[in-house]
Structure 1
Amino acid sequence: MRAYQIASYDTPPELVDIDLPPPATGEVRLAIKACGLNFADLLLARGRYQERPEPPVTLGMEMAGRVEALGSGVTTLAVGDRVAVYNGQGGLAEAANVPAERCVRLPDAMSASHAAAFQVAYGTSHVALEHKARLQAGERLVVTGAAGGVGLTAVEIGALMGAEVIAIARGAEKLDIARKAGARHLIDSESPEIREQIKALGGADVVYEAVGGDLFTQCFRATNPDGRILAIGFASGDVPQIPANHLLVKNLSVMGLYWGGYLAFRPEVLTGSLARLFEWYSEGRLHPQISHQLPLEQAGEALDLLRQRKSTGKVVVTM
């Protein structure tokens, strides 16, 4: 089968032919139909992600497809089931062996592309806003990178939860996408005095921050007393330093979130969140945004769209 993988962390990924063994105990073989890309895939390819598996590594953290074989001991799934799975790797391939316990059955109406674009982006935002920040209806939510893969879902879920959403993104086109997802106020990330613009709108009660650098600092300084700041990622490459004395004076809370990390110590947080999200999708309340969909042969171009920040919402690779 074909797989897009790195042979080492010092060499670029390439499309290669590999053999896939039968699924092991507790695993299923998934015929992959679509793989959703994430900024973390870029970090993993360079060995800069939180997890650093031993190469060779097939890229692609989340995928959707159809079960085509069962390993011994698997009783919760059947051949032919349509599922999505977050596996951390293996999605940019024609097939993968994945743990059955991580597989989530798909609603009948959900396409493989929507499913592949769904788990990490919507899961991250829902766990961040509901489980971590305890976002309440009527609170003011600031979202940075608001037209990106996770940022756009934070806008959509925040609005669904009743928050007043302030979206920060680069340029009129991206801001309009955030507006259509539910943002009430729009701020261009290239404009000056972002802190002052947020303060003029009443300040932030919750900040969903995925960019880092100066933008984090501006939002931090615009957060109201007793506010909560969610550190989601650092797309700018600049990890901010947080002045602890300001946390004390303003009674602020800064919370980090690594969505995949819950698999190791509280997987029920993710399964409960995904159950709610699939329910909202089935009710027509969530609308995944896929700006680009490319075939496996163009996996490198698909990753470049993320690297160059040319995408909005998600980029999906199809098999």
Structure 2
Amino acid sequence: MEYLSFDSSTKSLTLKKQNVLPKPAANEVRIKVVYSGVCGTDLHILEGAFPCKETEPLTLGHEFVGTIDELGSGVTIFKVGQRVAIDPNSGCNNCNHCHNANYHFCKGGGINNTIGIFRDGGWATHVLVPETQVYLIPNEIEMHQAVLTEPLSCLAHGWDKLNPVNIGEKVLVIGAGIIGLLWACLLHLHGLRKTVTISELQQERRKLAANLGLDYQVKSPNEIKEEFNVAVDCSGSAPAMEAAILLLGHGGRLCVFGVANPKAKLSIEPFQVYKKELTILGVLVNPYSFLKGLALVQPLSERYLDFNKLGIKVFALSQYKEALDALKKGNISKAIFKL
């Protein structure tokens, strides 16, 4: 077994090997990982800017797909060899949040128990996961595209909260990293055409957004002066969100989707919120939307999920330094490990 071990005390990442594979508990399955994505949240964790397990070394990676390698003694609905995607999030199923179908707010679950953040994840050749978080990948979906299910499931949750976004409304997508690009694709899939603008500071990422072929305007933030009905922040930048609020018209909505530094502050004028009847909407992970994310892969795959157009690059696990460096420099929008 090969895996990347992260030590939060030293913020160091080390490639390690062990001869013995982990054995699944009764309610677990062992996954032989095929593809595992690198999320922006992973970069925040590596920098020490996002909470994670601190009591012992951790294997990151909360976006991964693979095949079932071994079943726990109590698992009856899956078979060895099946292709699966993993939902990294779950709840305790006992608290009021879980009983109200809001397990993403759960103090013992949700983002406080995420696979790849608080439990060992998919930056490894093999990983143990509870059977309740395993989803079969339909035959018509390619594995390399199915690895995008987790971020797409978060988008599906955001779309549910933001709806209705009507055709003809002017939408600002802030940030042309992979999440901003996927949001642009989702808007296009739902019928929004020439009324979407993508805002991005980096020139290379602006080129990526323009090459998607969506016929959207792609601009530097200082070029944007018009008014919008909806703004979706995918950057996690407080100054970008402040600027977006000023661009919202009456009844405008700001969707805070990107993960900001926990210490970042947002300055707004309450009078403008009152006068324009603005709405600020937060979106947290993917409660009960993983199947929706998996369902999105197929309609998006034919036209939108082209790795070259999206700026996604595939690396071996041993190339992790090169992958993380390319991400930090903005040379690519996303890195995916192929194991």
Pair in the same fold by TM > 0.5: yes
Displacement of 1:235: 6.1
Normalization by structure 2: what TM-score? Answer: 0.80
Q: Give runs of aligned pairs for residues 1-319 of structure 1, distance below 5 A.
A: 1-18=1-18, 19-52=20-53, 54-87=55-88, 88-89=115-116, 90-116=121-147, 118-146=148-176, 148-163=177-192, 164-179=195-210, 180-189=212-221, 192-194=222-224, 196=225, 199=226, 203-211=227-235, 212-234=237-259, 238-260=264-286, 262=287, 267=288, 270-281=289-300, 284-288=302-306, 289-312=310-333, 314-319=334-339
Q: Distance in 1 between matches of 2:269 and 2:52?
A: 28
1:57 match: secondary structure: coil
Q: 1:242 to 1:10 in 2, by over 3 A?
A: farther
Deviations 1:50-93 (A, max 9, x none): 54453210011111111011113222221111011133311111
Q: 1:145 to 1:139 in 2, by over 3 A?
A: same
Verify the 8 A CA contact 2:87 2:290 in the aligned structure 1. no
Displacement of 1:129: 2.5
Q: Which structure 1 residue ranges, 5 or more long, are not aligned?
A: none
- 1:287 partner amino acid: L
Counterpart position of 2:98: none
Displacement of 1:4: 0.4
Paired residues in the alignment total: 300
Verify the 8 A CA contact 2:230 2:248 in the aligned structure 1. yes
Deviations 1:230-281 (A, max 9, x none): 1122568854233333222211111111214x2xxxx2xx134225313424
Q: Distance in 2 between matches of 1:80 and 1:280?
A: 25
Q: 1:108 to 1:137 in 2, by over 3 A?
A: same
Verify the 8 A CA contact 1:124 1:150 in the aligned structure 2. no
Q: Distance in 1 between matches of 2:314 and 2:186?
A: 23
Taking every aligned residue pair, what percent have the same amino acid on both sides?
Answer: 24
- 1:7 partner amino acid: D
- 1:188 partner amino acid: S
Normalization by structure 1: what TM-score? Answer: 0.85
Deviations 1:184-214 (A, max 9, x none): 212124xx353x1xx1xxx211111022132
1:58 match: secondary structure: coil
Displacement of 1:171: 4.7
Q: Distance in 2 between matches of 1:102 and 1:158?
A: 28
Verify the 8 A CA contact 1:126 1:154 in the aligned structure 2. no
2:139 match: secondary structure: coil
Q: Distance in 1 between matches of 2:30 and 2:268?
A: 45
Displacement of 1:9: 3.0
Verify the 8 A CA contact 1:142 1:207 in the aligned structure 2. yes
